[in-house]
Amino acid sequence: MEARVHHPDPDPAPRAAAPPTSRDVARAAGVSQATVSLVLGDKWRGRVSERTAAVVRDAADELGYRPNLAARSLRLGRTRTALLVVPALTNEFFARVYTGAATVAAAHDFGVVLYPSPEGVGPARDPFASARAALDGVIASSMAADALRAIRGTDLPLVMLDSDPADPGAAAHVNLDVADGMRQVLAHLLGLGHRRFLHLSSAVPSWTFDVRARALDAYLREVPGVEVRTVAAPLSVAGGREAAERALGGPGPRPTAVVCDDDILAAGACKAVRRLGLRVPEDVSVTGFDDLALATAVEPELTTVRLPAERIGERGMAALLAVLTGRPPEHGDLPVALVPRGSSGPAPA
């Protein structure tokens, strides 16, 4: 019988090293796997010392360990995804809110899905067949309360940005101090000698615009000799121009300052002033709100209130993460700042 000789492969392909596991991290750090899970899941505070948490993180970094997010989602019943609902995708302010929220989300292995609800009035339909299964929570920016009825019907935590803090349906609120922003605008114009005002208000029903109107009314009510006329306008350059043109060209003493709820309306007001053969700011001063890129694109550049859009997005995502982990979210309104530019000047004699 012929003998058969086995010849091994001359150069067997090397096996790829298995990726490190949480057990490897625990062994390297000299701790239990449960401790590794607490530290890398960011749930260690109050349970593990800072020194031990640092040792675990260092061991994970040295080994190149990355948590299995898919498995973690299955265990926790979570998708590590948040929905950000905004009134419009075309407004730069909401793009910056998204940037802030996405930055914080990425640092915690979360994703953010951006979803528009027309005009912020709604109703915003549930964008998924079952939002409950697809999301961990919802962040809504500058939305009317009734616009979120479909989303409120789920058990998802809801964080409201730039919205009514009295709304009982939200797990957390993050607001800008828009009332103080309006007061800063008025103090600036009063200091320049203005006493006749046109308030070009947004026709969009929203808490943030209501606050601006109330702040303007309360502030100017205390100043003797002041005249104020309020005109609502669609939130567009054309809407602002048409409303301002009618108001400035009407009978009676002409306002010397136009206070606008938004930079978009202010751009329209500047066009209206020029169409009437007047000058900004020599004849009529114009102020905006938001400090969009548009504010420095017009000539003269707009005096406006700078709103920290990215910061409110960051705080909103941080608040949602806090709610999901059972921690209290940070409180306090975000400060805003007046940015004086060329569109405001002394009241004409």
> pLDDT (tens digit, 9 = 90+) per residue, 47-70?
888 889 899 889 888 888 766 544
Are 303 and 278 contained in the same domain? yes
Instruction: Give a yes or no: residue 349 inside a domain.
Output: no
Band (pLDDT 50/70/90 cuts) for residue 2 is very low
Helices (H), 41-177: 50-63, 69-76, 92-107, 131-134, 149-152
Are 161 and 194 contained in the same domain? no
* Cα gap 240→259, rounded to integer Å: 11
Instruction: Give a yes or no: residue 241 inside a domain.
Output: yes
CATH number of the domain that 272 lies in?
3.40.50.2300
Q: What is the pLDDT of residue 145?
A: 56
CATH number of the domain that 30 lies in?
1.10.260
* Cα gap 246→251, rounded to integer Å: 10
Beta strands in the chain (DSSP E): 81-86, 111-116, 137-141, 158-161, 172-174, 196-202, 227-233, 257-260, 285-287, 304-306, 337-339
Residue 214 parent element (H or E): helix 207-221
Q: Give the number of other Cβ atoms within 10 Å of residue 283's Cβ.
A: 16
- What's the chain's average pLDDT? 85
Band (pLDDT 50/70/90 cuts) for residue 12 is very low
Residue 343 or residue 154, greater confidence: 343
Q: Which of 17-21, 127-131, 223-227 has the weakest average pLDDT?
A: 127-131
Q: Which of 36-45, 61-70, 89-98 has the weakest average pLDDT?
A: 61-70
Q: What percent of the chain has pLDDT over 70?
A: 83
Total of domains in the chain: 3
Question: The whole model's pTM is what?
Answer: 0.74
Band (pLDDT 50/70/90 cuts) for residue 13 is very low
Instruction: Give a yes or no: residue 328 inside a domain.
Output: yes
Are 115 and 163 contained in the same domain? yes
* Cα gap 73→109, rounded to integer Å: 11
Q: What is the pLDDT of residue 326?
A: 86
Range of 326's domain?
77-174+309-334
Are 63 and 98 contained in the same domain? no
Are 206 and 281 contained in the same domain? yes
Instruction: Give a yes or no: residue 10 inside a domain.
Output: no
Band (pLDDT 50/70/90 cuts) for residue 247 is very high
Are 190 and 291 contained in the same domain? yes
Q: What is the pLDDT of residue 122?
A: 47
Instruction: Give a yes or no: residue 147 inside a domain.
Output: yes
Domain end: 5, 35, 67, which one?
67
Instruction: Give a yes or no: residue 317 inside a domain.
Output: yes
Q: What is the pLDDT of residues 152-209, one digit of tens each?
A: 656 678 899 999 888 877 889 999 999 999 999 999 999 999 999 999 999 988 899 9
pLDDT at 71 over 50: no
Instruction: Give a yes or no: residue 348 inside a domain.
Output: no
Q: What is the pLDDT of residue 146?
A: 62
